[in-house]
């Protein structure tokens, strides 16, 4: 009935990740049907505390139609395989056992 209206997909936390991926699928025709939907250029997303669900390169390409809102130092949007691995390596490096080994 309203062919010019935008389509807004929203979500919070895990739902924001699903909303972002759904937006990508609708915009770029991924999934069951390899062709974009007729309203693809009008699909937008606002995600609150969205976990990292794409690569940095893909995320940068979506700036025009996906907005991610992050509150202060919320860890969910920053939680990735890389960030967890880096935190573990920091804990190992700063552990008393590692400091003792370094002093020998």
pLDDT in tens, 43-64: 999 999 999 999 889 999 999 9
**DSSP states of 22-83:** HHHHHHHT-SSSSS--TTGGGEEEEEES----S-HHHHHHTTTTEEEE--TT-SGGG--HHH
Percent of the chain having pLDDT more than 90?
Answer: 55
Nearest Cα to 66, choosing from 14, 21, 15, 12? 21
What is the per-residue pLDDT across 61-104, written as a single tens digit (0 to 9) for each? 999 999 999 999 888 888 888 888 998 999 999 998 888 888 88
Count CB atoms within 10 A of the CB of residue 91.
10
Instruction: Look up residue 10 and give its two tokens.
Output: 């929203």
């Amino acid at each position: 009935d309203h062919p010019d209206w935008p389509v807004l997909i929203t979500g919070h936390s895990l739902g924001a990740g699903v909303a972002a991926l759904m937006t990508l699928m609708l915009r770029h025709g991924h999934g069951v049907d390899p062709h974009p939907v007729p309203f693809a250029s009008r699909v937008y997303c606002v995600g609150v505390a969205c976990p990292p669900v794409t690569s940095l390169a893909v995320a940068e390409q979506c700036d025009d139609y996906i907005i991610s809102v992050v509150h202060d130092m919320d860890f969910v949007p920053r939680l990735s395989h890389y960030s967890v691995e880096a935190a573990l390596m920091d804990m190992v490096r700063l552990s008393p056992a590692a400091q003792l080994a370094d002093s020998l």
